Chain A
Amino acid sequence: MTDLLVIGSGGAGLTAAIEARQKGFSVIVVTKTLPTQAQTCMAQGGINASLANVTDDDVQLHIQDTLRSSAGLADTDMVSKMCHEASSSLEWLESIGVPFSRIDGADDALSSIAQRRLGGASAKRACYAQDYTGLKILHTLYERSVEVGVRFVSEHYLLNLLVDDDRVVAGAIFWDIQKGEVVAIEAGQTIIATGGYGGLYHEHTTNSYGSSGDGIAAVLRAGGVVSDMEFVQFHPTALHGSAILISESARGEGGYLIDHNGDRFVDELAPRDKVSRAIFAQMQMGHNVRLDIRHLGRQKIETLMPQELHLCRLHAGIDPIEEPIPIMPVAHYTMGGIEVDDQLRVRNLQNCYAIGECSNAKVHGANRLGGNSLLEIIAFGRVVSRHMSKDISTSKCDIEARIEEDKKAIEKIFAKPNEVNFYRKRKILGKLMYKDVGIIRDNAKMHEASVYLNEIHDKLGIMGVGDKEPKNNQDLVEFLEFRNTLVLAKATLLSAISRTESRGAHHRSDFPTTRDEWSRHSYIELVDGDPRARESL
């Protein structure tokens, strides 16, 4: 039995683990891969803090920018809490050795961190480490975790939370991928930090393969609630086909978006959701959209965007110096997630918290401001550790019985006929969600999508794994991930259908305006294993 179990080894999980460890807690961090392979490594832009190192700035401006971007759906107190934590969060990152980009001539270490302006910000507020901000934060957190004695359990896939009848959480049950066994890890308190659900837009997302919302689905199964699932941020420029992200800097430096005639059709520097919609509208008319940076010149492209140049040559087989880059907007960040209270406790469950992209802490609302995702994981990773106490109610969960249940469930999957290939269905699901529950939505298309989704769901009984070897079975893990994305796709669809307005990232062509009566959150719970909307908490 450990004091604290952290599920997920991204920036949120590791921050909470380090801080709890330093309070004297025994801490286990469980990851389905290896500690440094979390999605956090992909964050490039930066982490917001109104340090005013480069331009004038103020925490109130940060709060205002965040609230404006959220389109009325963020919680003012939570946003204020996050923004006020920003400066001390950066101080902490600085103290553990994150190698930030710097400016010369500063008076102290914190003031020496370089800052840049990201979209929607009224100041140069994002602290960065070249184009590897997330990578460098994550690896520094990992080194620090090793140093303070956090115990890592790698290659363990979350099956279910251990909950008793009063919904007191006592840890979780995992599939030990290497050994091919069901194991329980008991804990006084559990933090879910498993990342977002962008993976349901398979092949239409910048996210890594593992973004299947495992923790969110587990909370639903344990009797928790998820909220605002319809809010998914789409990044305007990913490579057409491979969905590899082409950084915003390409437009920031003066790149043009052009239609099939080679004409510009949108202000390239407008907010992400607006640009994404303009591109998607072109695509709906059957036109390809390309990003043209040729006029910037070879020298500028080679110096400022070496990574982009490499990615275009590799994944699209084109040279952006010579020809425009074929692009499409793809799912990038999921605002919705596990419903938590103002102390980040999972609603309906006890001794259980959720932080980072998997949780809906109401700091992003209907649209996330660039640079706030890295801030959220560090700030709330630290905040949650302050709420930890060893004085907790004990769970009466019959752990042995729960292990048996999950063992049986896995055996059942192995025994199933593998008549329908889930890898094919995963592709179909991704495309369906992208086309019909993506950037521009309407009632008719979403109801059609709902029929297809149910069809896929109905085939689960004859969908299994071809690989029957228990040890190191990638097929099984990817099947379990697919099942989670299927549940979350339904939750996303249900919320998107019921929200009859347009707000932030949720845009409906049949309800194109924002409506006051919808200035509220949407909630989903599981009823008999199926996602259902509920009016209020």
Chain B
Amino acid sequence: MKLIIQREQGADSYEEEFALSATSAITLLSALYEIKSKLDSTLTFGAGCRSGVCGSCAVLVNGKEQLACSYKHKAGDKIEPLRYHKILRDLKVDKSKAHAKIEPIVVDEHRAGSIPNIADENRTKKQSDCILCDSCYSACPVLAVNENFMGPFALTKAYKNTILSPSGSISILKNVQKDGIWDCTLCGECTLVCPQGIDPKGDIMMLRGEAGKAGYMDPNFSSMDFGTPDFGGGF
């Protein structure tokens, strides 16, 4: 079985094909380790828990984000590093810039006064399943044109925190205005690739609703071109 891996070694960037025995490695992550331990010790990638909760091993497989530990590779698969991250070496990327984007949405006060119940648990259950694997960030086309865009996971966390901390939501909503909720095109790519089944697009829409209630407006709205008004009728 052959795997094609995008290599980034110093200034060199190239595709390399590796031949693996068909049966030995079960997941893509174990295949990467097989290559590293037997064929090429310079191959560099992220690895951790092997069971899909630590977020270390997300890569692109044939252009789509996958956790290497949770993906069964097929012959001819092409493996690349995540998009919109600085590549450190081969499949290993620098996630510090992406992760710093949660800074504006963390809050110090939680749940002033209210007593949570099962309904409250359900309101943030999915959002708090995030493992910070950066798959959604890599899939987001907005980041191709605006590198300052906060990105899907930070906005999902923002939404989660507005629920958990009603008193903190004022500052969160303020901090997601610029390069935040209004910059999203609602294309839903983030939702499609999340290994935890989180729906950042939905969370961003919820945040827009909350922002509207708090008096914020879509800044794109005033500059939108609605064309010539058509009142119907005519001849």
Contacts from A to B (Cβ < 8 Å): 33-34, 36-39, 41-42, 94-97, 99-109, 112, 114, 129-130, 132, 135-136, 139-140, 143-144, 146-148, 154, 178, 208-210, 241-242, 244-245, 311, 314-315, 317, 421, 423-424, 465-467, 469, 471-475
Contact = CB atoms under 8 A, between A and B. Distances in A.
B108 interface: yes
A99 B124 contact: yes
14 contacts: A34-B99, A36-B131, A99-B128, A99-B164, A108-B115, A109-B116, A130-B125, A136-B128, A143-B106, A209-B50, A210-B48, A424-B37, A469-B89, A472-B88
Interface stretch (B13-21, B53-61, B201-209): B53-61
B186 interface: no
B116 A102 contact: yes
Contacts of A102: 116-118, 120-121
A139 B157 CA distance: 10
A130 B125 CA distance: 8
Contact of A105 (B47, B108, B117, B165): B117
Identify which of A99, A144, A242, A465 gathers the most chain B CB atoms within 10 Å of its CB: A99
Contact of A146 (B95, B106, B125, B132): B106
A154 B92 CA distance: 14
Contacts of B106: 143-144, 146-147
Interface residues of B, number: 57
Interface of B: 9-10, 26-27, 30, 33, 36-38, 41-42, 44-51, 53-56, 70, 72, 88-89, 92, 94-96, 99, 102-103, 106-108, 110-111, 115-118, 120-121, 124-125, 128-132, 157, 160-161, 164-165
B112 to A, nearest CB: 10
Contacts of A469: 9-10, 42, 89
A60 B37 CA distance: 51
Nearest to B30: A242
A475 B54 contact: no
A99 B121 contact: yes
A132 B51 contact: no
Contact of A139 (B51, B125, B128): B128
A498 B198 CA distance: 51
Grouping DSSP codes into helix (H, G, I), strand (E, B) and loop, the A interface class, with mixed when no group exceeds half, is loop
Contact of B49 (A39, A112, A317, A423): A39
Identify which of A100, A241, A423 gathers the most chain B CB atoms within 10 Å of its CB: A423
A108 B116 CA distance: 8
Contacts of A112: 115-117
Contact of B115 (A106, A132, A242, A245): A106
B115 to A, nearest CB: 6
Contacts of B110: 94-97
Contacts of A245: 51
A41 B9 CA distance: 31
A242 B72 CA distance: 13
B165 A314 contact: no
Contact of A104 (B41, B118, B165): B118
A139 B124 CA distance: 13
Nearest to B48: A208
Contact of B41 (A38, A467, A471): A467
Nearest to B87: A472
Nearest to A427: B37
A311 B56 contact: no
A96 to B, nearest CB: 6
A147 B41 contact: no
Contact of A33 (B26, B48, B120, B164): B48
A399 B8 CA distance: 35
Contact of A135 (B45, B53, B96, B164): B53
Contacts of A474: 36, 44-45, 92
A132 B121 contact: no
A222 B27 CA distance: 39
Contact of A465 (B10, B41, B44, B55): B41
A104 B122 CA distance: 12
B51 A42 contact: yes
Contact of B51 (A38, A104, A114, A311): A311
B233 to A, nearest CB: 55
Contact of A209 (B48, B99, B128, B164): B48
Contacts of A39: 49
A356 B58 CA distance: 28
B55 A472 contact: no
Given A99-B164, A147-B107, A132 B53 contact: yes
Nearest to A96: B110
Contacts of A129: 128
B111 A139 contact: no
A144 B109 CA distance: 10
B164 A104 contact: no
Contacts of A244: 50-51
A421 B37 contact: yes
Nearest 4 A/B pairs, CB to CB: A466-B41, A423-B37, A472-B89, A97-B110
Given A314-B70, A473-B44, 11 more contacts: A42-B49, A97-B110, A102-B120, A106-B117, A107-B115, A114-B121, A129-B128, A140-B128, A242-B27, A244-B50, A315-B26
B42 A466 contact: yes
Contact of B54 (A42, A104, A136, A147): A42
A107 B38 CA distance: 60
B104 to A, nearest CB: 10
Contact of B27 (A103, A178, A315): A315
A178 B92 CA distance: 10
A462 to B, nearest CB: 15
A424 B131 CA distance: 31
A99 B118 CA distance: 11
B61 to A, nearest CB: 14
B70 to A, nearest CB: 6
B16 to A, nearest CB: 15
Nearest to B42: A467
Contacts of B94: 178
A103 B118 contact: yes
B96 A154 contact: yes
A423 B30 CA distance: 13
A419 to B, nearest CB: 13
B91 to A, nearest CB: 10
A143 B100 CA distance: 11
A241 B111 CA distance: 45
A530 to B, nearest CB: 27
Identify which of B53, B99, B130 gathers the most chain A CB atoms within 10 Å of its CB: B53
B59 to A, nearest CB: 14
Contacts of B108: 147-148
A106 B37 CA distance: 54
Identify which of B26, B44, B128 gathers the most chain A CB atoms within 10 Å of its CB: B128
B44 A472 contact: yes
A331 to B, nearest CB: 14
A14 B27 CA distance: 31
A39 B124 CA distance: 23
